[in-house]
Structure 1
Amino acid sequence: MNVVVRHQAEALAAAGHHVEILTRRSSPLSETEQLSPGVTLRFLDAGPARPVPKGDHENFIDAFRLQMDALGPYDVIHSHHWFSGMAALPLARRRGVPHVQSFHSIAADPSTPLSAGERPESPGRMAGEEWLAQESDALVAISEAEAHTIVQRLGGSPERITIVLPGVDGILFRPTDLLPAEPRDYAAGPRDIRGYAVVAGRLQPLKGLDLAIEAIAAVPEAIRPELVIAGDASADYDGYIDELRALAARHGIERSVRFVGPQSRVDLALLLSGARIVLVPSHSETYGLVALEAAASGVPVVAAAAGGLREAVLDGDTGVVVDSRDPQVWAGALTQILSNPAFARRLSLAARERAEHLDWPRSADGLVTVYRSLVRPGAGDRSPSLLRA
């Protein structure tokens, strides 16, 4: 979500719009920052100035709204995730300003399968998402799959939903043969032709990291790559990394699974460009930005047939989509790519070609179309738009 918000904001600013991004202060050192010409990042005091579990954020919604009320004026308020929407929609109504809602992830009742969506980590989430879907002036979905979920689960009107695909920086994320230098070696230890595979994202059960480990373990040892896991566990999942290490040990591949922590955008680009394959085994994804970044890097992706991943990865063309959570089935897909260089090369070339048509200016243009349909004529000449995370 943060990547989408920032890159869309910068692309909007490059097109002549003024954008402010508002977020909760999670560190006493956080200060207002000019991210780029036309994009201002503001930290608002709502709750303690430190990271807290996502479930605690619901307690800070009113305080966040109070801080927002001192800012503006704005032509459009665009909320990202439900916390933001709950703070912003009442304020937008009072000011007579259009409110746009994006979800990026949508909760599912704990009794439903994990594949149905994220768990509602705070009591008001499910009711809040439903209210926002039905009351916001416009809804921006990141994929056809998310749009369908907004309609079916939240009762949002299809007429108010616009699908705006994310973009990718094709200069930052590019194939190894387009890089000025060799990628950094993330998987410490001796290197061989088996190379390494990557899985990147938040380290939590929803992302299916256990499946990634079990799938790699099931690949024949002669061609089995190391598995590099990039990302960090949130406060909600303390101890999860230890569980994953223990799983790797049970499968006898603890020396071939590397946890490299959260990566900067530059380091992630280098990591992906040097990989032989990228795994996206999530139970649920509204789109799957890592899959698109891997495509831009010219790396084949093996992804779960979950939500928007069916749209991010074109099965048999830019990667392989697996409609199973059986590690042996995943190992078969990995083996097909790792053991067939011609097939891997074809996937790589097609992935890069597709990514070149999906950039951030195109994504921002989609947002502008939504905003212009809501803003009074002439208003955009006077005051800024707002993207808020």
Structure 2
Amino acid sequence: MSVTTARPLRVAMLSVHTSPLHQPGTGDAGGMNVYIVQLSRSLAGLGAEIDVFTRCRGEDLPPEVPLAPGTTVRHLHAGPCRAVAKEELPGTLEDFSRALLRTAAGDGGRPYDLVHSHYWLSGQVGRTVTRRWGVPLVHTMHTLGRVKNASLAEGDSPEPPERILGEHRVVDTAERLVANTADEAAALRRLYGAARERIDVVHPGVDLRTFHPGEGRRAARRVLGLPQDAFVPLFVGRIQPLKGPDVLVEAVAELVRTDPELGRRLVVPVIGGLSGSGLRAPERLAGLCSASGVADAVRFEPAVRQETLAHWYRAADVLVMPSRSETFGLVALEAQACGTPVLAAEVGGLPTAVWDRVTGLLVRGHRPRDYARQLLTLARAPELARAMGRAGVRYASGMAWETAAARTLAVYERAAGTARSGWAGAAARPCPGGDLSLEVPGPRRLKGESRTHDSITDFSGSNVGVGGIAE
């Protein structure tokens, strides 16, 4: 199987619960949406044909929407043709599988060479259709239920046993598992019993055509109407406890108490829409801002298109990511590509996305005081922040989506080779009984260097220096 053969490689991408056409930062749309769009486009650029299958939600979209040359989003009727709560989506999977099989059968007999499913719901469909078609299944989890359950924010609901069991089934049957980082690969082995020889680590990329330093901070602030002398800590993401916006608000309040003069020139944009458990208490974050005395500093902005988001990154002094769980953290890479340092929690994939003390700062835990202390450091040492921003541009420049796509193609080749050799999947193992929310050890510090890990497809370590960018 190769894109250099006479017939292009045909891949069925599965994204059941969210469409790549949805605006990231709203509802269930986030980094996974960006991942699927950019990976599909880049794979098509290498000669593959990609059909992304998602569920019809009654949004007046045609059955097929071209995403880019060689890439099409195809809507399938599975359950009601409207938005459905994520908790109800498992009931639509059988319909989705049938619709996918019917659609493929009506495509003139051109079979798919491989299925790449995203998130556990899509993985259930992938298991069904690959058995019928006799083609390999490649799966990317994006988030792991057991990991999320080990790091729940107050008020968050644990992921249900149904999801944990579904993830185990995908792990047991997929020819290849694509992990975003070595930390995720270790979690797949430790918590799900995944065979190390079936895991490939392929770091996500960044769209360097959109995210770059541009004309610098001053120009970006003019575009957005921000004061030139403001200190701007930026939050980008879905508004839900998992992402930790409450930590940022409390850190900003601590910062104001510590340095009232700095507090008078604080502007804290929070860009994104309500999602997950945040929908149950939509006024909670605004109420916290008022109670903490920082309502005048915090600006709530809706999710924006990527081109506008790049202006916000350039305008900010620092991107703040106090996430309680994060598989990778694409926004961290986007901000660094724009020349903005990142202050992030040392969880999940963030130690890979952010090179601690070089392109940003990592914080252990979620104590607002610790984030306030680091914000104060960056505010009082702008030359340090500028050096980190320059290093971030260099770091991100080695992580283009084209590189991720080329390495994903190598994973597809491995999957095809495994299927040809007659591998039939590991013997089905029962989901371990007892506690379904095992405690997860803290992540290792990876520091961004190139490394090997079993059968890993890894990125080239960036030789980070301090190249110049416009202020």
State whether TM-score is above 0.5.
yes
- Gap change, CA 1:242 and 1:90, over 3 Å in 2: same
User: What is the aligned counterpart of 2:71 among 39, 45, 65?
Assistant: 39
Q: Secondary structure of the residue that 2:87 maps to in structure 1? A: helix
Distance 1:301 1:5 in 2: 24
Quick one: which of 250, 262, 265 aligns to 1:223? 262
Match of 1:146 in 2: 184
Residue type matched to 2:201 in 1? Answer: I
Check whether the contact 1:58–1:122 (CA below 8 A) recurs between aligned residues: no
d(CA) in 2 for partners of 1:193, 1:112: 41
The offset of 1:349, in angstroms, is 0.6
Indicate yes or no: 2:100 matched with 1:68.
yes
Higher relative contact order, chain-length normalized (CA < 8 Å, sep 6+): 1
Pairwise mapping of residues 1-389 of structure 1 onto structure 2 (< 5 A)? 1-31=32-62, 32-72=64-104, 73-108=111-146, 112-114=150-152, 120-177=158-215, 182-183=220-221, 186=224, 191=227, 193-219=229-255, 220-224=259-263, 225-234=266-275, 236-375=277-416
Change in CA separation of 1:212 and 1:128 when aligned onto 2, cut-off 3 Å: same
Structure-2 separation of matches of 1:160 and 1:63: 29
CA distance in 2, matches of 1:18, 1:81: 21
C-alpha distance in structure 2 between counterparts of 1:68 and 1:264, whole Å: 30
Instruction: Tell me, yes or no, if the aligned pair for 2:148 and 2:325 is still in contact at 8 Å.
Output: no
The answer on whether the counterparts of 2:236 and 2:270 sit within 8 Å (CA) in structure 1 is yes
Runs of 4+ in 1 over 4 A off after TM superposition: 118-123, 178-181, 183-186
Taking structure 1 as the reference length, the TM-score comes to: 0.91
Change (3 A) 1:171 1:221: farther
Shift of 1:198: 1.1
For each residue in 1:295-330, what CA deviation from the matched residue of structure 2 results, as whole angstroms up to 9, or x when unmatched?
001001000011100111111000000012111111
CA contact (8 A) 1:56 1:122 kept: no
Contact 2:221 2:228 in 1 (8 A): no
Alpha-carbon separation, structure 1, partners of 2:129 and 2:243: 34
- Corresponding letter in the other structure for 1:103: M
Percent sequence identity is 33
CA–CA distance in 2 between the matches of 1:111 and 1:312? Answer: 22
How far apart, in 2, do the equivalents of 1:235 and 1:206 lie? 9
After superposition, the CA RMSD in angstroms is: 2.2
Equivalent position SS for 2:283: helix
1:146-177 deviation per Cα after TM superposition (whole angstroms, max 9, x unaligned):
11111111111111000111111122111253
TM-score by length of 2: 0.75
- Which amino acid counterpart does residue 211 of structure 1 have in structure 2? V
Distance across 1 between alignment mates of 2:388 and 2:161: 43
Gaps of 5+ in 2: 1-31, 105-110, 421-471
* 1:28 shift after superposition: 3.9
Q: CA deviation at 1:110?
A: 8.3
Separation of aligned partners in 2, 1:108 and 1:343: 37
Q: Which amino acid is 2:41 matched to?
A: E
SS at structure 2 position matched to 1:19: strand
User: What amino acid is the match of 1:282?
Assistant: S
Q: Which amino acid aligns with 1:322?
A: V
1:98 offset after TM fit, Å?
A: 0.1
1:235, distance to aligned residue in structure 2 (A): 6.1
Q: How far is 1:179 from its partner?
A: 8.9
Change (3 A) 1:241 1:185: farther
Larger mean CA deviation between 88-97 and 245-254 belongs to: 88-97
> Residues 286 and 307 of structure 1 are in contact (CA less than 8 Å); yes or no, is this contact kept in structure 2?
yes
Structure 1: state its 5+ residue gaps: 380-389
Indicate conservation of the 8 Å contact 1:18/1:38, yes or no. yes
Amino acid at match of 1:231: G
Q: Kindly provide the CA deviation profile for residues 265-313 of structure 1, in whole angstroms up to 9, marking residues without a partner as x.
A: 1111111111111001100111110100010010010000111001111
Query: In 1, Cα distance between the equivalents of 2:371 and 2:174?
Result: 40
Cα deviation 1:349-389 (Å, max 9, x = unaligned):
10010001110110001110011122369x9xxxxxxxxxx
Alpha-carbon separation, structure 2, partners of 1:184 and 1:133: 49
* Residues 1:87 and 1:191: Cα distance change in structure 2 (over 3 Å): same
Aligned length: 374
Please give the alpha-carbon distance, in whole angstroms, between the structure 2 residues aligned to 1:366 and 1:352: 22
Q: CA deviation at 1:336?
A: 0.6
